[in-house]
Amino acid sequence: MSFAERYLNALNSSNLLDDDKHHQTEALVAAALADLSGGSGVVFGTMLARAKLDGVPREALSTSSPALAVLLRAWKKAVFEKGHARKWLKIQHTWDMPALEGICNKIALHSLAHWLGGQCTACNGTKIVAGRACTHCAETPGFEPVAGEGLYRERVKDMISDLEGLHQSHSARAGARMRKAA
C-alpha cells in the first residue's frame, strides 16, 4: 500500500489506536515528520497532500473550508516570497510592494486552484474524446491548459510546477519515513 493510500486511510479512520494490530497513526506521524524535515522551511506539505488526496474541485477555493483557507494563506505567503526573490516586479517605490503582493495573490490563487482541480474539462483527464486524442488538452495531456497570457501565464505555470514538486518531495520523505518505521 502506498503512502498516499495509507495516509488517506488514516485521515478517514475512526480508530487511531497504535498497537500491534492498529497502525493508522504511522502515516500521520510520517507526514508530520516529513514536514519537519523539509529543509526548505516549507511546512505545508501535509496540507498539500491532504487537499490533493481529498480531490478538492477548483471551485471549492472560492467557498473554501478552514483547512483550504490555511493552505491558501500559506501558499500566498510562499508565492510572495518567491516573487520577491525572483524579482517579478522591480521594487522602486513604496507602493510597489502592495502591487507585487496583489500580483502574487492572484498567481497563488490561480496556481493552487489549477493544481488541485486541473483535470481537462473536455476529456475529464482521460486524454481521449470520442475515440480520438483530446485536442483541448493537447499541450498538457489530461490537464486543463493554464488560462491567462504572457508573463502571468508563465508565472502561474511555474508555481503549479513548484506545488507539484513540493507535493512529490513531501510524499517521498513521508514514504521513506514509513519504510524506516516498518
Give residue for cell 494563506. 73
Taking residues 74-79, what's their average pLDDT?
92
Q: How far apart are CA 182 and CA 179, in angstroms?
A: 5
Q: How far apart are CA 91 and CA 181, in angstroms?
A: 48
* Cell numbers given for 70: 490555511
Pairing, β 128-129 against β 132-133: antiparallel
pLDDT in tens, 17-67: 666 666 667 766 666 666 666 555 456 777 777 777 765 555 555 555 677
In the chain, what are the helix, strand and coil shares in percent, each to the nearest 5? 60, 5, 35
Q: pTM for this structure?
A: 0.75
Partners of 143 in the β-ladder? 119
